[in-house]
Structure 1
Amino acid sequence: MGRVTPTDRRTVLLATAGLALTAGCGTTGTTGTTGAVAHPVRAAASPPPSSAPLPAQLAHGPRDRPRLALTFHGGGDPATARALLTEAERHGARVTVLAVGTWLDAHPGLARRVLDGGHELGNHTLRHLDINAMPEAEARQEIAGCAERLRRLTGSAGNWFRPSRATRASPLVERLAREAGYPHVLSYDVDSLDFTSPGAAAVARTVLGEVREGSVVSLHFGYDDTVAALPAVLEELDRRGLSAVTTTELFS
Structure 2
Amino acid sequence: MTTPAEDPAPPATPPAPPRRTALLSGLALTAGTLTAGTLTAGCSARAAPAHPDTTPAAARSRPPAAPSAPVVPPAPAPRRFPAQPAEITHGPRTNPPKVALTFHGQGDPAIAESVLGEAEKAGVRVTVLAVGTWLDEHPDIARRILDGGHDLGNHTLHHLDINAMSQTDAAAEIRGCADRLKRLTGSIGTWFRPSRAPRASALVQRLAQDAGYPHTLSYDVDSLDFTSPGAAAVTRNVLAAVRPGSVVSLHFGYADTVAALPDLLHELDRRGLRPVTTTELLS
Which of 108, 115, 126 is matched with 2:139 structurally? 108
Following the alignment from structure 1 to structure 2, what is the Cα–Cα distance between the partners of residues 131 and 156?
A: 22
Matched, 1:169 2:200: yes
Determine if contact 2:118/2:262 at 8 Å carries over to the other structure: yes
The residue number in structure 2 matching 1:240 is 271
Q: Please, which runs of 5 or more residues in structure 2 have no aligned partner?
A: 1-71
Determine if contact 1:41/1:116 at 8 Å carries over to the other structure: no
Following the alignment from structure 1 to structure 2, what is the Cα–Cα distance between the partners of residues 197 and 95?
A: 21
Please list, as runs of the form range in 1=range in 2, the aligned pairs for 1:37-186 lying within 5 A after superposition. 42-47=74-79, 50=82, 53-65=83-95, 66-186=97-217
Following the alignment from structure 2 to structure 1, what is the Cα–Cα distance between the partners of residues 150 and 73?
A: 11
Determine if contact 2:81/2:282 at 8 Å carries over to the other structure: no
Deviation at residue 49 of structure 1 after TM alignment? 5.0
The residue number in structure 2 matching 1:228 is 259
The residue number in structure 2 matching 1:250 is 281
The alignment's TM-score, normalised by the length of structure 1, stands at 0.81
Superposition RMSD in Å: 1.2
The residue number in structure 2 matching 1:211 is 242
Identity of aligned residues (%): 71
Higher RCO structure, 1 or 2 (CA under 8 Å, sep 6+): 1
Determine if contact 2:182/2:188 at 8 Å carries over to the other structure: yes
Deviation at residue 41 of structure 1 after TM alignment? 5.5
Determine if contact 1:104/1:110 at 8 Å carries over to the other structure: yes
What SS does the corresponding residue of 1:235 show, helix, strand or coil? helix
Q: Where does structure 1 differ by over 6 angstroms across 4 or more consecutive aligned residues?
A: none
- 1:2-52 superposed Cα distances (whole Å, 9 cap, x missing partner): xxxxxxxxxxxxxxxxxxxxxxxxxxxxxxxxxxxxxx66411553755xx
Aligned residues: 211
Matched, 1:196 2:224: no
Q: Please, which runs of 5 or more residues in structure 1 have no aligned partner?
A: 1-39
Deviation at residue 64 of structure 1 after TM alignment? 0.3
Distance 1:242 1:145, change over 3 A: same
Deviation at residue 208 of structure 1 after TM alignment? 1.1
Determine if contact 2:129/2:193 at 8 Å carries over to the other structure: yes
Distance 1:92 1:185, change over 3 A: same
The alignment's TM-score, normalised by the length of structure 2, stands at 0.73
Following the alignment from structure 2 to structure 1, what is the Cα–Cα distance between the partners of residues 152 and 201?
A: 22
Following the alignment from structure 2 to structure 1, what is the Cα–Cα distance between the partners of residues 118 and 73?
A: 20
Following the alignment from structure 2 to structure 1, what is the Cα–Cα distance between the partners of residues 235 and 73?
A: 31
Q: Which has the larger radius of gyration?
A: 2
Following the alignment from structure 1 to structure 2, what is the Cα–Cα distance between the partners of residues 46 and 127?
A: 21
Following the alignment from structure 1 to structure 2, what is the Cα–Cα distance between the partners of residues 159 and 226?
A: 23
Deviation at residue 197 of structure 1 after TM alignment? 0.4
